Structure 1
Amino acid sequence: MPERHLQEYEQFYQEQPFGLWREDYRTAQIAYLLAAINSDPKKDSPKLTEFMPFFADQSAVGNSQDFDDGSQMFLAQR
């Protein structure tokens, strides 16, 4: 990998960290699936977002369309 690409990845990671969020999301999917399978059919089924506390923190910031993490501009200038 050219050094320029490594620098781009480093800059992108500073703007939009990756890694643990994906692991948390996958774990939330598994927990959601187990809860949905074992839930009472007479009650409302759980929602995936109930198993993602980090998602609730992001939704407190505002509408996801209004939130600008800078990644779109970074990728456009690539």
Structure 2
Amino acid sequence: MPESHLQEYEQFYREQPFGLWREDYRTAQIAYLLAAINSDPKKDSPKLTEFMPFFADQSAVENSQDVDDGSEMFLASR
């Protein structure tokens, strides 16, 4: 891979990271399951998002396709 392609790839990853969200989600599922099993039944059960520290609240956004993540502009200027 030429160095220019590597720099382009690194810039794209800085602007639009990918890959780790799924791993965070899977780990959060395990932690959530353990917490739900061992929680007090008289209290509110925990939410899955409580175990995802970098989860952004998207409730204000109705359609995730409406969010401009900058990737279209980046790819157009390649």
Task: Indicate how the Cα distance of structure 1 residues 53 and 64 shifts in structure 2: closer, same or farther if over 3 A, else same.
Answer: farther
* RMSD of Structure 2 on Structure 1 (CA): 3.8
Task: Indicate how the Cα distance of structure 1 residues 56 and 70 shifts in structure 2: closer, same or farther if over 3 A, else same.
Answer: closer
Match of 1:66 in 2: 66
Larger radius of gyration: 2
* Higher mean displacement: 43-52 or 14-23: 14-23
1:59, distance to aligned residue in structure 2 (A): 7.6
The alignment's TM-score, normalised by the length of structure 1, stands at: 0.57
Q: Distance in 2 between matches of 1:75 and 1:19?
A: 19
- What are structure 1's unaligned runs of at least 5 residues? none
- What are structure 2's unaligned runs of at least 5 residues? none
Given that 1:29 and 1:48 are in contact with CA atoms closer than 8 Å, whether structure 2 keeps it comes out as yes
Identity of aligned residues (%): 92
Count of aligned pairs: 78
* Higher mean displacement: 25-34 or 67-76: 67-76
The alignment's TM-score, normalised by the length of structure 2, stands at: 0.57
